[in-house]
Amino acid sequence: MKKISIQGIKGSFHEDAARKYFGEDVEIVECRTFRKVCELLDRDEVDGAVMAIENSIAGSLLANYALLQDFHLHVVGEIYLHIQMNLMVYPGVKFEDIQEIHSHPIALRQCSEYIDQHFGEIELQEKSDTAGAAQELAREKYKDVAAIGNQRSAEIYGLEVLERGVETNKKNYTRFFVLSKHNNPIAGTNKASISFQCGHYYGALAKVLTIFGDNKINLTKIQSIPIVGKPNEYSFHVDLEYDTEDNYERAIHLVLKNVSSLAIMGEYKKGDIELNKP
Ligand SMILES: O=C(O)C(=O)Cc1ccccc1
């Protein structure tokens, strides 16, 4: 059975993402940090990893972009997960008993309107993942704490869901990368993630972007990342969608002549964002 490392514990949104991509037939390997996720992959102790890279509300996880670069990992796929949050308690605990809410900081932020409306100045505790908050609540049998997380964590840790859909914005998606240490090219790709640096002269970046446009390549994301040790210099991480691999290869060939360095992080099949799902 394939082993897939994730940050956080079983029940987290990372497990949801891994299951959406790989199905039930994988072993989830829990890691405390994203660095550990990459280390296990680098040491060939797992076959793949799933890592959040951006959220439609909170934005990019820049530290994860930096890890991809440091560990030279390959992006072999992507997953968009519709994030729905639930307010969960130890069975029997009532709404009026809740004195604290525990969850991942992004989850707390995404539910701030609901929390403000129903709990006002309640104490919020940040945990390293939503499922970890749920597990601790269940283990310690807290009678005055609620956790915020997904349905899977409520089921695994035996919590009662007091309210579903407590996220402020219902169009809340997180994008995850599927990572591999080894690059096994697949046929029929239509998306790529690349990273490049260009010189400090006028029009340098514009020239690169024009090449993509001229070759019918659709840029879906551009993210600048500071280069450690080189203040005021950045690398650009770009996601590209293409109709034909020929167009893509021609564009990359031309771009190579206009950048100081370029790395192809991966070519893969684009994930379905399912925007119209309820
Ligand atoms: O804490 C989790 O369950 C995670 O997988 C991280 C996360 C937190 C909030 C939204 C999406 C992913």
- For ligand 1, atom 9, the nearest C-alpha belongs to 107
Task: Provide the edge-to-edge strand list for the sheet that holds 191-197.
Answer: 218-226, 234-241, 191-197, 261-268
Inform me whether the pLDDT recorded for 278 exceeds 60: no
- The distance between the two most distant Cα atoms of the chain, rounded to a whole number of Å, is 65
Residue range 197-215: average pLDDT?
A: 93
Question: Rounded to whole angstroms, how far apart are CA atoms 115 and 168?
Answer: 10
- Ligand 1 atom with least separation from CA of 15: 5
- For ligand 1, atom 12, the nearest C-alpha belongs to 13
Output the CA torsion sign for 165, 135, 13, 193: positive
Inform me whether the pLDDT recorded for 41 exceeds 70: yes
- Residue 277: its pLDDT value, please? 58
- Residue 183: its pLDDT value, please? 87
Residue range 119-132: average pLDDT?
A: 96
Inform me whether the pLDDT recorded for 133 exceeds 80: yes
- Give the pLDDT band (50/70/90) at residue 199: confident
Q: Give the burial class of 196: count Cβ atoms within 10 A of its Cβ; 0-12 exposed, 13-18 middle, 19 or more buried.
A: buried
Domains and CATH numbers, the chain: 2-82+173-180 (3.40.190.10), 86-164 (3.40.190.10), 191-268 (3.30.70.260)
Residue range 116-124: average pLDDT?
A: 95
Inform me whether the pLDDT recorded for 62 exceeds 90: yes
Read off the pTM.
Answer: 0.94
186: left (phi over 0), alpha (psi -120 to 50) or beta: beta
- Ligand 1 atom with least separation from CA of 14: 5
Structure token digits, residue 157: 């840790």
- Residue 229: its pLDDT value, please? 87
- Ligand 1 atom with least separation from CA of 107: 9
Query: 164: CA distance to ligand 1 center in Å?
Result: 16
Residue range 263-268: average pLDDT?
A: 96
Q: Give the burial class of 174: count Cβ atoms within 10 A of its Cβ; 0-12 exposed, 13-18 middle, 19 or more buried.
A: buried
- Give the pLDDT band (50/70/90) at residue 11: very high
Inform me whether the pLDDT recorded for 112 exceeds 60: yes
Inform me whether the pLDDT recorded for 160 exceeds 80: yes
Residue range 243-267: average pLDDT?
A: 96
Lowest pLDDT segment from 57-61, 140-144, 206-210, 223-227: 57-61
- Most ligand 1 atoms within 8 A of CB, residue of 5, 13, 112 to mutate: 13
What ipTM was predicted for this assembly? 0.94
**Is 64 close to ligand 1, i.e. is its CB under 6 Å away?**
no
Alpha carbon 213 to chain centroid distance? 27
Number of neighbours of residue 139 by Cβ within 10 angstroms:
9
Q: What percent of the chain has pLDDT above 70?
A: 99
- Most ligand 1 atoms within 8 A of CB, residue of 37, 64, 82, 174 to mutate: 174
Query: 176: CA distance to ligand 1 center in Å?
Result: 10
Contact call for residues 255 and 262 (beta carbons, < 8 A): yes
- Ligand 1 atom with least separation from CA of 81: 11
